[in-house]
Structure formats: structure tokens, C-alpha cells
Amino acid sequence: MYTFVFTKNLINTISMTANKKIIVIFLSLLLFCTISTIAQNVGIEAHTDEKLSLLEQILIWYDKNMTYPVIALLMALESSFLGIIPSELIISVAAYVSLDNDVSLTFWGVVAAATVGSLLGGLINYSLAIFMGRKVLYSLADSKLGHFFLLNSNKLIKAEKWFVSYSKVSVCIGRLVPGVRQFISIPAGLSRMKLTPFMIYTVVGSSAWNTVIAALGFFLHGQQDLIKKYSVELSYLIVIILVLIILFFFIKYLINKKLHTKNTQIYGLIGYPLSTSMSQKFFTNKFKKEKIRACFELFEIQEDDQIAAFVEKIRSQKGFTMCGFNVTFPLKEKIIPFLDEIDPAAKAIGAVNCVKIVINENKNMSLKGYNTDSFGFEQAIKPHLEGKKMNALICGTGASGRAIAAALRRLNVDFWFVSRTKTAENITYSEVSQQVISENLLIINATNLGFGKMKNQYPPLPYEYITPEHLLFDVIYNPAETLFLKKGIQHGSNIINGSQMFVNQALASWDIWNS
């Protein structure tokens, strides 16, 4: 009866507002825990006249209801985005019960059933990623339904970071990391990883994790007499832990709510992909260090309709109020038609990476675009040019390349663009000869080669002509050393990655937002 009431309250919260939902969940769980504690003290008979503690009741339930199909089903849910019940509560207790003589479960049977369930759950996420795509998945993650299942876009971004960092092996390694293992199948599906290696890596990682958790149950079974002796005390401990967990999430909710009040400044970054971006970490640390009441959010956007919806949400001031946001690949040019005004320098470059949101006295909103990439590069390269006369090659004619070109003009550095196609303003990669390399000691990678899915690529230059007199600069900062920079190291040249450029442009954006 009590369980029915608790479940009913929980289901009803799906249609409630966020405020009411968290309160009802908290009160329902607290009531459930209180009833369980009272029942343990008063005594609940289960085919016996003895009073059973809460812990004994749990073990009896597992003993009667836990079978291999149930274990597989629960683990399938745990390994998919519906993972509300943690694997520790499924496998360890099932393994504990399996060591009793009067049950049909075995230790390795529990591990095998759990691994089958983990594979099924992984295949669910893998399939959803393939058939739904990134746009729909991220929308689902940030919906009310997604939040109800403890899902959000930050968790997906975290999983994608793992996949970018460790490639296919992350499907195996990620299974050993709490908070990652439930979602690591999603980036595998988005990247169209082949099914066979995906299943192999999933089984290997899951079986390792499940064996460790089952071993915990095996160890606890060895302490069976001690557990029975202190079952009442352990029951109280279970209730206390549950209450503390609920309090933790409730306090976390209140903190997040406080951060997103009208008095909180909200900034962000739009673009795709954002899994390797350091912007959120940089600004979050800055806000904490300087005690600024603000937060920085990531918005994975890549299509024009998504830009329109994002800008409309800002203008309507529904859901959140932003003060400014940065723009990264591939939106630095696409964002321009949605702005009210563009700084002359950004207009000349033809790319915007910083947007300031201004509301005047009449409460009219204006979005103005700036380019801080050019300033960021200028400040990063300037110390390395003092007292030297260098000509430059800029690989790439996109937004970053044009921003760098504007900076080089201010520094009186002559340059050539290098691209795949020939124009009046650039040469092609095939035209870069030994003479061209020797005449241009500063070589800049302003392309995406070396980043994300193209991390194993680099501009096709004749690197054998690079010398210790050369300076190679890469706008990419993650990874810290791209293949482009490694090529330079192999030939003794100096190298600079994009980390200082990133910091410079971020600080310039902050100054613009607060000017």
C-alpha cells in the first residue's frame, strides 16, 4: 500500500512544474523512508512471528523476485537513458543473495545476466543516436522528460568528450566510469561506429564493471553473520543515506535555481561540437574566483533554424535572460543575419565570435556582433615577433583565417592565404614549394584539421623544408599538440597552440559584455 502511494505520487510529478515536482519527490521519498523505519520498529511479519528489519525485508524481496531475466531487464534500463536504478543496487545485492544455498542464482550467472542487460541498454542508446540524430537527442536531454530521467545535455557533452579523447576504446573504458557509462553509447552511435566492435567493447567493459560490483556482494556475504547481527542499525543507516541523497539533490536544485534567478548574469557559447571547448570551465572558474554572480552555459547549435530558435528565445526572455554569448564553428558567419548591429572590425572580417546583448531604457533589445579572435591572435603572436621580420602563410580562408589576417595587417606582417582552390588572394597547397616555405617563417593553421573528427589530419604542406627558424601556430588548443605542431617539432621549429589566443579572446569578450 505504501509503495503504491509512493509510486503514484512519483508518476503524478511528471506533469507538474519543476518546483512542485522536486518537492513532491522529496516528500514522497521521505515519507516512504519514514514508513519503512516505523515498520522496522513495529514489526512486519513475513511468514514468521519475528520482526524483520528493513534490510532483511530487502534481502527477502531480492530472494523471491530476482531472476536472471529481471537482472538483465533492470541492467538494460540502467545502461540506457532510463537508468534510474544504479547498477550497484542491482548486481551487488543479487550476487549477495546468489550465494545462499536455497536460490537458483549463481555468482557468474548474475554477472552474465547483468552484462547481457548492459549490452541491450547500450544498443538502445546506440540505435537512438543513429536514428534520432544529435539535434533530437540534445533536445530530448534538455526537455522536462529528459530531466525527469536525470538526463541533460551536459551529460551527453561529457560522454562525447570521453569519446573524442579515447576514440572507440572509450566505449570499453567509459563503462568503468560512473556518470559516463550510461551515455557513452550515444557518441558511438552519432559517429556511426561499426556495430561489431561496439558490441565487443561494450561487453568487455560491462563484464569488468559487473564483476567488480558482484565481488562487492560476494564480500558482504562473507560478513553475513555480522550483517544479521546489526541489521537494525544497518536499516537505519540505509534510511539515513537515502535521506542524505535526497537532501543533496534538493540542495543542488536550490543552488541551481538560485544561480538562474533574474539577478544572475547568464553567458554562453553556441556552435558545434562543443565537447572539447574550454569556455565553460574557463568562465566558471573566473566567476568563482572573482565571486561574480553568473553562470556560463553551452548550446550545441549548427543549423539555421536552431540559430533562429535560440535568438528568438533570447529576445522573448522566456526561460532565461542572457547578457552575451560567444560563437564558434560553424556559426561565425551564419549568426550575422540574426544580429541587429555589427562592429566595423567584425564586419570587415566577415565573422562574429562574440555577441553583446543590450536592453535600453525602453526595454528594446539589441544584439551586436564583435570579433575578438583577431585581438586574441594578435596578443598571442605579438611577443614572438618583436625584433623579427617574418612573412606568414595562413592555412585556411575561413572565419579564423580572416581574423588572423586582420591581426597580421595591424602588425605589418606580409602573408599569403593557402587553400585548396586558387584565387587572386591565395595560393594552393600544391604551390607551396621549398622557396615559399623558406620565405615565410610563420606558418599558421587556421583550419579544423587536427580538431575533433579530423584530429588525425593536418594541412598538406612540405614539412621537410621546415627549419628551427620557423614558428608554427595552430588556432586549435585541444589537443594541445596537433599533428601540424608535431610535424614542426620533428623539424626543430618553435610551436604555439591556440590556448593563449583562446584566453585572450575570452577576456576580450568579457570586457565587451561588461562595457
Do both 193 and 328 map to the same domain? no
pLDDT of 391 higher than 90: yes
Do both 268 and 208 map to the same domain? no
Do both 191 and 308 map to the same domain? no
Q: Which three cell numbers stand for residue 127?
A: 540505435
pLDDT at 240: 81
Do both 363 and 382 map to the same domain? no
Residue 351 lies in a domain: yes
Quick one: average pLDDT of 287-302? Answer: 88
pLDDT at 260: 55
Which of 21, 332, 356, 455 is labelled catalytic? 332
Listing DSSP states for 9-27 in one string gives HHHHGGGS-HHHHHHHHHH
Per-residue pLDDT reduced to its tens digit, 313-364? 888 765 457 889 999 989 999 999 999 999 999 999 999 999 999 887 777 7
Residue 12 lies in a domain: no
Phi and psi at residue 335, to the nearest 5° = -75, -20
**Whether the Cβ atoms of residue 484 and residue 348 lie closer than 8 Å to each other:** no
pLDDT at 19: 45
Task: State what percent of residues in the chain have pLDDT above 70.
Answer: 73
Q: Omega before 479 cis (within 30°)? A: yes
Residue 79 lies in a domain: yes
Task: State what percent of residues in the chain have pLDDT above 90.
Answer: 35
Residue 32 lies in a domain: no
For residue 94, give Cα distances in angstroms to 65, 103, 222, 349.
Answer: 10, 11, 14, 63
pLDDT at 249: 72
Known catalytic residue at 332: yes
Contacts of 86 (CB under 8 A, 6+ apart): 78
Domain boundary among 321, 345, 371: 371
| Full domain range(s) for residue 295 | 262-371
Residue 212 lies in a domain: yes
CA angle 480, 483, 486 (to 5 degrees): 80
Mean pLDDT (the chain, rounded): 79
Do both 342 and 414 map to the same domain? no
Per-residue pLDDT reduced to its tens digit, 399-413? 999 999 999 999 999
Per-residue pLDDT reduced to its tens digit, 442-465? 999 999 999 877 888 999 999 999
d(CA 356, CA 514) in angstroms, rounded, equals 9
Higher pLDDT, 4 or 355: 355
Do both 361 and 382 map to the same domain? no
Do both 380 and 403 map to the same domain? yes
pLDDT at 227: 58
pLDDT at 166: 65
Residue 53 lies in a domain: yes
pLDDT of 389 higher than 70: yes
pLDDT at 256: 63
d(CA 105, CA 102) in angstroms, rounded, equals 9
Report the domain count for the chain: 3
